[in-house]
Structure 1
Amino acid sequence: MTSSLSSSTATPLKKQFKKLDSPEFKSLFTPELDFLAKLFNKNGFEIRIAGGAVRDLILGKVADDIDFATTATPKQMIAMFEKEEIRMINNKGERHGTITCRINDKENFEITTLRFDVETDGRHAEVQFTTDWMLDAQRRDLTINSIFYGRIAKDAESHDADILKAIQSNSAGLASISGERMWLELKKIMMGNHVDSLMRVMNDLNLTVHIFTGFIDELNFDELSHVWKSCKDLNPLPMTLISAMFNSLEQLSTLHARIKMSKDELQLGQFILQHRIDPVFQKTRLQQNGPTYDANASGESKKDMKKMKLENNFLNDDATLHAENTENKILSEGKILSDKQVGDDLAEPKKSAMLIKCEDLLVEEPSNLLKAKSRILELLKYFNLRDALKQFGDWTPPKFPVSGVRLIEVGVPKGPQFSRELSRLKEIWKQSRFTKTEEELLQCVKIKKKIAE
């Protein structure tokens, strides 16, 4: 397939072009896009793919979010589309040079005129339209350019010295960039190549101080390097890797105040920080992967982590006690548990301690089970526990057999006693490895009532 549409990259210091002729690039050319490209060419305008889609194509990925840049001004695009009776939508972007058209009532295309900044305060800019591709490239944040460069480089150290120098000399400008934008770009770094090396380079260039304000000297780049190298092929979420740099929940909260991460991202970070010093995860990681995370060196302690658990409602007191008892048995008897080692009610002999821990964490989570399971899977990626990741990923938690209605029917009064009894029954059910039936659990309620009387 041939078309006038092209994809190119450029840096402010040296003009560079890379021709794309890959299957991923060719797959973009729907009849609608081909028509659009020919229309611009017929009217004497250039149109190119821009932004993140170029990065994806260079990496051999199919771009699913495509932006376009053109030498045509907004007025010229409007006149061209009106002449061809092409529908235009969302005219709010016209002032900034962006026109969105819809071809054949099937596909929308967002196209922005080349421009350069006349005046900017870091977030908003007064722009002037141009037909010079280099001028448009130069208006973009040098830091962002360096991030794109790091994400596609084959060699972790193949950074242009002049570019690095230019980035460092302009690093103070990041102070005026919004926290949300920094967070977006930081997550992109975590999904790219050479994560550990790139973060160290950014730190050397005084860039990270504008993101991790208040604890820049405490960032744990060694842990980030260990985690990223061990699990990068498992596609961990950005927050999973970012958590590796933190030594406390306080640091995570400080970052959250700066960049306003989503609720799910915050909860995942909290979850990993809470559980990465867990004896079961630590022991299994040590057995499978060598050196483990040094909680004492970072100032974390079991007392601190138990407090974190209670503050964030991940485990209640009974569940914490059960987990600690299970851990003690695991650590004293070894990795594999048998029926006799954890009780006669354990239905699955020789289930690994890691799987038992993951199952317990999931059934203890009171919120959305899918999100809870996702957090646990990310924790397993963090520790590079591949066997457990596969087995737990295939596990579906059973439904607790006793309803609140049944508890009331057998005489458990509403209020604090009801909550305590429900929690106690869930703990009994969990210790049976989810095998006790409703009848068996209700018998436990009756026994407790008789003893109380």
Structure 2
Amino acid sequence: MTMFLLFVQMWSRILSPRVISRTGFYWRSIFTMRLKTSEFQSLFNDGLNGLAEVFEKHQHELRIAGGAVRDLLSGKRPEDVDFATTATPEEMKRMFQSAGIRMINNKGEKHGTITARLHNENFEVTTLRVDVQTDGRHAEVEFTTDWQKDAERRDLTINSMFLGLDGTLYDYFKGYDDLQNRKVRFVGSAEQRIQEDYLRILRYFRFYGRVALEPDDHEPETLAAIRENGRGLAAISGERIWVEIKKMVVGNHAAHLLELMYSLELAQYIGIPPDGNVEEMKRVWQNAKDHSPKPMTILAALFHCPEEVEKMDLRLKVSREEKNLALFLVKFRRELRKSQDDPDSLKPFTDFIIDNRELDSQSKVCELLKYQGEEKLLKELCRWSTPRFPVNGHDLRRMGITSGKEIGATLQKLRDIWKTSRYQMDKDELLSYVKP
């Protein structure tokens, strides 16, 4: 056995430091690459420098973790930066208290996260953890000082890397290679990672849309694991599912990924219609993908009727605005269309906005035009400002009309005349049609 270990140590020095087995046996390796990009350097403001000094003083290691590492390696400056450390929450609290650093939001402490506030900026720092027990939704964790064990509990290889504050990349599961090759893979066993948290199925699809170049370059064993474990999504809260779906449907390959989710029989567990109109969805995604559609604009294509929207809302708990947009698109995608007699005219859509009189009408109609693929009309409507109807009830009362019913009918008549004029008539012109 001793000779075998010596053999492993010898070859671990010779081979690339990224060569790590996926089969369960790992030898320790540090990726010697160092990041020196401007995006990385821009992170080092007064707040981060102050945080680093505290950890260095108390001899606890601090590294950038997860998605921020992935973004930095992709040449992007991350919007959020999370940190991992060997210090326990209690040790962090003592360190911050002795340095006079304020801590906020102690809700994360039971999961090992302490939020420190330095120079008007929040820094979330989490103790390295290992999962002791999982039920597919939550995990009981223990703290550790082993960076590889923490990496092993993460979902995807591209999310399992750490970056030292000196720029050293720590990569235990070939995440850098996968990122360079645009591959999305689970850490170790896909089935095991999914069973630890079934939401990882949807995270896989979301990150596939962000990373992969080709729409259908999945590993067969990954899809098999997803198919076998898809029913676990039924126990995941609708709010968590909706967060992932929203991000996925406005990313790359969204139509392919939604179609794939149907072929893997996931729809019944995640709130979208089991017999959704996939062909309509693919057509709408092709129409809208270059125009920043809202997530619900793409999903609405799957619904056959308003009742399916209601069922979706019961499962996913979408916002009122999102639900109303879905109901609007399902109702008006066929009814409200450009005129065949004057296909370049916005009039059917602007008339609808004028008559509807709701604050978000123009926004909804813009989403409808994306849905329908009306690029030219969409550009025109984005430049269009809703004109103000120049007549009100006070004007009619001054002309001797006092009945509320008659005022309402007269205003509607004048509004129709005003629309016919393409909203050009002023108050005097419109009131000339009124007979006291």
The two structures share one fold, judged by TM-score above 0.5: yes
Pick one of 256, 263, 273 that aligns with 1:204: 263
**Aligned CA distance change for structure 1 residues 280 and 202 (closer, same or farther; 3 Å):** closer
Listed as ranges, the matches of 1:364-443 within 5 Å are 364-368=355-359, 371-443=360-432
The TM-score, its normalising length taken from structure 1, stands at 0.72
Q: Which runs of 5+ in 2 are unaligned?
A: 1-19, 155-192
Pick one of 85, 88, 97 that aligns with 1:82: 97
Over 6 Å off, 4+ runs: 10-20
Residue pair 1:70, 1:113 contacting (<8 A) in 2 also: yes
Pick one of 240, 245, 250 that aligns with 2:302: 245
Residue pair 2:336, 2:348 contacting (<8 A) in 1 also: no
For the residues of structure 1 that align with 2:334 and 2:203, how far apart are their CA atoms? Answer: 37
Pick one of 80, 102, 121 that aligns with 1:107: 121
Match of 1:164 in 2: 223
Q: State the number of aligned residues.
A: 367
Q: Is 1:47 matched up with 2:104? A: no
Match of 1:72 in 2: 87
Q: Is 1:358 matched up with 2:349? A: yes
Residue pair 2:62, 2:83 contacting (<8 A) in 1 also: no
**Aligned CA distance change for structure 1 residues 119 and 406 (closer, same or farther; 3 Å):** farther
Instruction: Specify the SS of the correspondent of 2:433.
Output: helix
Instruction: Specify the SS of the correspondent of 2:387.
Output: coil
For the residues of structure 1 that align with 2:282 and 2:269, how far apart are their CA atoms? Answer: 21
Q: Is 1:133 matched up with 2:150? A: yes
**Aligned CA distance change for structure 1 residues 438 and 136 (closer, same or farther; 3 Å):** same
Deviations for 1:334-361, whole angstroms, at most 9, x for unmatched residues? 53xxxxxxxxxxxxxxxx32x1122212
Compute the displacement of 1:177 (Å). Answer: 0.4
Q: Which runs of 5+ in 1 are unaligned?
A: 1-9, 282-329, 336-351
Compute the displacement of 1:404 (Å). Answer: 2.3
For the residues of structure 2 that align with 1:243 and 1:277, how far apart are their CA atoms? Answer: 13
Deviations for 1:18-66, whole angstroms, at most 9, x for unmatched residues? 9866554444333322443454355232322334x55655665543233
Match of 2:15 in 1: none
For the residues of structure 1 that align with 2:295 and 2:268, how far apart are their CA atoms? Answer: 19
Opposite residue 121 of structure 2, the aligned amino acid is: E
Q: Is 1:91 matched up with 2:106? A: yes
For the residues of structure 2 that align with 1:377 and 1:61, how far apart are their CA atoms? Answer: 31
**Aligned CA distance change for structure 1 residues 400 and 361 (closer, same or farther; 3 Å):** same
- Which segment drifts farther, 117-126 or 131-140? 117-126
Residue pair 1:115, 1:135 contacting (<8 A) in 2 also: no
Deviations for 1:299-346, whole angstroms, at most 9, x for unmatched residues? xxxxxxxxxxxxxxxxxxxxxxxxxxxxxxx43x453xxxxxxxxxxx
Instruction: Specify the SS of the correspondent of 2:302.
Output: coil
Instruction: Specify the SS of the correspondent of 2:337.
Output: helix
Opposite residue 362 of structure 2, the aligned amino acid is: K
**Aligned CA distance change for structure 1 residues 196 and 41 (closer, same or farther; 3 Å):** farther
Identity of aligned residues (%): 40
Compute the displacement of 1:247 (Å). Answer: 1.8
**Aligned CA distance change for structure 1 residues 276 and 83 (closer, same or farther; 3 Å):** same
Instruction: Specify the SS of the correspondent of 1:436.
Output: coil
Deviations for 1:351-377, whole angstroms, at most 9, x for unmatched residues? x32x11222122122221xx2222122
Deviations for 1:170-193, whole angstroms, at most 9, x for unmatched residues? 222111100111111110101211
Match of 1:265 in 2: 322
Pick one of 223, 235, 238 that aligns with 2:292: 235
Residue pair 1:55, 1:148 contacting (<8 A) in 2 also: no
Opposite residue 150 of structure 2, the aligned amino acid is: W
